[in-house]
Structures are given as structure tokens and as C-alpha cells.
């Protein structure tokens, strides 16, 4: 049983996390939001109050914090009395925040893997480069650390575990498919920070197939998927965090991640990449100004948060598990459909931020209740998925399954 939440970060996902924590503050207790820029925390708090999101009267407080400074994070944890830290800051601060939680003996979670700013796409399994090196320290101190508990990675890992446990005990493949069939009405925009978005696609695409890491390039391998609600959509094999833990926990299965991209996105990405405009290395203009092209691209693109009011349509993200059961072929697709406009009306954010921000709050609720307070470092597929789905059903991201017998809620 733990109480009081410290949210680190004040971007689009933090906004969703804050709203959802507020809606559940009877369970979670005090809510603190910390970011380098205090005014961004204050803007989120104003938005929470505007929607009247606090379930019961309570603390909702902003803090200025440099999260790269582990000692400062420890001090803020102690000052606030937070027992649960939800880290949704830029991925460059994961390790100092994790260190602080181990030091302070409180629960940690994040939604994406740690990255160093000057390195793109390190050797697999990615978790082995940073996070898993702190497994022993977590176990020794009895610290609960849940890695990658957004939607993907996160909920899709639980979908995989559930699909295997309940439908396909002899698993042969796990395919995660992420389709955003929404429309923001702009000529072009990324759905989250363009710098992070483009970094995700400029490196090697790792997948786990036939018991080994396979390497491809982005947009090299594509196929069409016929999915509930969003219909037939083309998706491309993409490097993604959850492949790296699922391949470790289910080495007997092929593990792949597929992300949907329209031809327009691919064209813009290809032009920018081939011209050198996605480079994180500086160039010098004819006038002698040193500038990083990717940061100029970010400067001319729309702020992803600005898309929310006009965003319409739905996302479908799920995990297809295939293999055999009792010697016979078996498969199941475990998935969620979310709606951009519903997300905006509820928490003032678009659907991509919503699907990423709701799951860590569900995990926080399970830690607060002791259900997931496992006193060690885990990836989501190592936890019982059913209580997770129950909370997600209640707080906005219902889980469904589709198999040969039909399409229905996971617990129907």
C-alpha cells in the first residue's frame, strides 16, 4: 500500500497523467507535478481544475525540478512524501530518476526506454543497456519499478501475456500493431515531439525472429492489416521498446512491432531524411551560423499539443498472438480502440497522449492498492494483466479480444 504521486514531466502525456490522477485522488492521495519549467506544471494544474477533475479535495501542487539531478529528485520525493513516481519526462532523464527512486525507496515507473541524446538505436535488447543493470539494486531495496507502462510499450505487453495465458499457450509469434486512423487536419505534423518522433525511425529496425535479432531499415518491411473499427491499414516493421523485453521473456516466439504510416508521412520523412534535415549533427550556414537541422524542422512543424482541438478519428492498438493450443493452431488479437475527440473533451489532449498517459495511472492505482507493488523491477508482461485491464476498463481504455469465435470484451 503506497500513497502520494510525483509526476515528473509537463508535456502532453503528463497532462493526461495529471487529469487521471486527479480523477482517482481518493486512492492516490496527494498529486505533485515537477518539471524544469514551473509554468508548464501550473498550466496543467489550471486545466485539471477547469475540468473539475479532482475526485475529492486534496493536494495538487507544481514544483520546479531539474530531473537530470538525481539528488534533487531524491530531495523532492522526501519533501513531498511521494511513494509513487510516474516519470513521463523526456526519455533522457530515466536513469537519474530511477536512481533517485532506488535511493529514496519508492515505486518508479516510466513509459519509454532510456536514451542518451547523442546515441540513436543502441544494441538489443535495449533494456539491457541501462534499466536492467539496476534490477539487482531494486530487488535488494525492495523497490517496485515498472518499466515501459504506457500503451506501447505497456498495455500491449499485458495484451501479449493475456493472449498467451488464456488463448495460445504454445506461442509462436507476437505482433504488436499500432494504427492511428485519426486526422489532425494539418498538411503534416508528428503526433508527439518531432525530435523524439523522427529519432525513433532513423536507426536500425530490430525484430526478434527465429531465435535471433534481425536487422532491417525503416519502411523496408510493410504489410496490410485488417483491424477492428479502423479497417484495412498499412503498417511497417518498426524498432520499438517492447520487442526487447518480450523477446527476452518469450524467446521461443517471433516478436515484431508494426506501426501504421500513410504514404504522405513516409514521403515527408524520406525527403527530410535524405536531404540531411533530420540529422542531430550540426551544420554551418553560408553566413557562419552553426545549427542542428532536426531542431529547425521541429521549429517549423506544428506543436503536437496544438493538434488536440481539431483531432478526429480513432486509434487501434493491439497484440496478435499466434501459436498452438492442445496441438491445434490458435490465435487471438487483444486490442483497444480510442477516440481522439473523446480524449480532448475529457482531458484536453489528443488520443496519442491519452493512450500513453492513462496506463501509468492504472499502474499507480494497482501499486497504491498493493496489487502490483512487487518490490522488484519488471516489464509489464511479468505482471498479472487482469487487474490492469479492470482498472483500464474503468478509467478509459477498455480491452477487447477478437478470435475465431468473435469480437468481445476481454472478460465477457
Binding positions for a second copy, rule: CB under 8 A: 187-188, 267-268, 271-272, 274-277, 279, 283-287, 289, 291-293, 295-301
Q: In the complex, what is the shortest distance from the CB of residue 39 to a second copy, in angstroms, rounded to a whole number?
A: 15
Q: In the complex, what is the shortest distance from the CB of residue 268 to a second copy, in angstroms, rounded to a whole number?
A: 5
Nearer to a second copy, 3 or 273 (CB): 273
Nearer to a second copy, 3 or 298 (CB): 298
Nearer to a second copy, 276 or 329 (CB): 276
Q: Give yes or no for a contact between 167 and 403, defined as CB atoms under 8 angstroms apart.
A: yes
Q: In the complex, what is the shortest distance from the CB of residue 196 to a second copy, in angstroms, rounded to a whole number?
A: 12
Q: Give yes or no for a contact between 379 and 147, defined as CB atoms under 8 angstroms apart.
A: yes
Task: Determine the Cα–Cα distance for residues 108 and 87; give it in Å rounded to an integer.
Answer: 7
Handedness of CA 355, 361, 365, 371 (dihedral sign): positive
State how far the alpha carbon of 255 is from the alpha carbons of 206, 319, 385, in Å: 10, 10, 19
Q: In the complex, what is the shortest distance from the CB of residue 273 to a second copy, in angstroms, rounded to a whole number?
A: 10
Nearer to a second copy, 223 or 295 (CB): 295
Q: In the complex, what is the shortest distance from the CB of residue 175 to a second copy, in angstroms, rounded to a whole number?
A: 31
Nearer to a second copy, 136 or 271 (CB): 271
Task: Determine the Cα–Cα distance for residues 254 and 241; give it in Å rounded to an integer.
Answer: 15
Task: Determine the Cα–Cα distance for residues 35 and 370; give it in Å rounded to an integer.
Answer: 28
Q: In the complex, what is the shortest distance from the CB of residue 298 to a second copy, in angstroms, rounded to a whole number?
A: 6
Nearer to a second copy, 191 or 315 (CB): 191
Task: Provide the 8-state DSSP code for 8.
Answer: E
Q: In the complex, what is the shortest distance from the CB of residue 193 to a second copy, in angstroms, rounded to a whole number?
A: 9
Give the three-state DSSP class for 242. Answer: helix
Nearer to a second copy, 289 or 404 (CB): 289
Q: In the complex, what is the shortest distance from the CB of residue 18 to a second copy, in angstroms, rounded to a whole number?
A: 22
Task: Determine the Cα–Cα distance for residues 192 and 20; give it in Å rounded to an integer.
Answer: 19
Nearer to a second copy, 187 or 326 (CB): 187
Q: Give yes or no for a contact between 253 and 235, defined as CB atoms under 8 angstroms apart.
A: no
Nearest one of 175, 176, 110, 94 to 148, comparing CA atoms: 110
Element (H, E) at 310: none
* Packing angle, helices 38-50 and 12-23, rounded to 10: 50
Element (H, E) at 308: none
Q: Which three cell numbers stand for residue 211?
A: 531465435
Task: Determine the Cα–Cα distance for residues 52 and 59; give it in Å rounded to an integer.
Answer: 14
Amino acid at each position: 500500500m503506497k500513497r502520494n504521486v510525483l509526476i515528473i514531466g509537463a508535456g502532453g502525456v503528463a497532462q493526461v497523467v495529471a487529469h487521471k490522477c486527479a480523477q482517482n485522488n481518493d486512492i492516490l492521495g496527494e498529486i505533485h507535478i515537477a518539471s524544469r519549467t514551473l509554468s508548464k506544471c501550473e498550466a496543467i494544474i489550471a486545466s485539471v481544475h477547469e475540468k473539475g477533475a479532482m475526485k475529492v479535495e486534496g493536494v495538487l501542487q507544481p514544483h520546479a525540478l531539474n530531473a537530470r539531478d538525481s539528488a534533487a529528485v531524491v530531495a523532492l520525493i522526501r519533501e513531498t512524501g511521494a511513494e509513487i513516481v510516474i516519470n513521463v519526462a523526456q526519455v533522457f532523464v530515466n536513469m537519474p530518476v530511477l536512481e533517485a527512486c532506488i535511493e529514496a525507496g519508492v515505486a518508479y515507473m516510466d513509459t519509454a526506454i532510456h536514451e542518451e541524446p547523442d546515441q540513436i538505436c543502441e544494441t538489443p535488447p535495449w533494456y539491457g543497456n541501462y534499466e536492467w543493470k539496476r534490477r539487482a539494486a531494486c530487488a535488494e531495496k525492495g523497490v517496485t519499478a515498472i518499466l515501459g507502462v504506457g500503451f506501447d510499450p505497456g498495455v500491449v505487453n499485458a495484451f501479449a501475456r493475456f493472449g498467451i495465458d488464456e488463448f495460445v499457450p504454445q506461442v509462436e509469434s507476437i505482433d504488436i500493431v499500432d494504427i492511428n486512423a485519426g486526422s489532425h487536419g494539418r498538411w503534416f505534423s508528428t503526433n508527439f515531439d518531432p525530435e523524439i518522433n523522427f529519432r525513433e525511425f532513423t536507426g536500425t529496425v530490430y525484430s526478434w525472429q527465429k531465435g535471433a535479432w534481425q536487422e532491417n531499415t525503416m519502411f523496408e518491411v510493410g504489410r496490410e492489416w485488417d483491424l477492428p473499427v479502423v479497417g484495412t491499414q498499412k503498417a511497417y516493421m518498426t524498432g520499438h521498446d517492447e520487442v526487447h523485453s518480450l523477446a527476452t521473456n518469450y524467446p521461443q516466439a517471433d516478436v515484431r512491432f508494426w506501426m501504421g504510416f500513410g504514404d504522405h508521412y513516409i514521403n515527408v520523412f524520406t525527403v527530410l531524411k535524405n536531404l540531411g534535415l533530420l540529422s542531430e549533427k550540426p551544420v554551418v550556414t553560408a553566413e557562419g551560423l552553426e545549427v542542428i537541422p532536426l531542431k529547425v524542422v521541429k521549429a517549423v512543424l506544428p506543436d503536437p499539443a496544438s493538434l488536440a482541438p481539431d483531432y478526429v478519428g480513432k486509434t487501434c492498438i493491439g497484440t496478435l498472438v499466434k501459436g498452438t493450443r492442445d496441438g491445434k493452431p490458435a490465435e487471438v488479437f487483444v486490442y483497444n480502440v480510442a477516440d481522439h475527440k473523446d480524449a480532448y473533451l475529457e482531458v484536453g489532449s489528443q488520443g496519442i497522449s491519452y493512450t500513453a498517459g492513462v496506463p501509468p495511472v492504472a499502474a499507480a492505482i494497482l501499486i497504491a492498492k498493493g496489487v502490483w507493488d512487487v518490490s522488484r523491477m519488471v516489464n509489464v508482461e511479468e505482471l498479472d494483466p487482469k487487474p490492469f485491464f479492470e482498472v483500464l476498463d474503468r478509467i478509459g481504455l477498455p480491452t477487447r479480444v477478437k478470435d475465431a469465435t468473435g469480437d468481445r470484451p476481454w472478460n465477457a
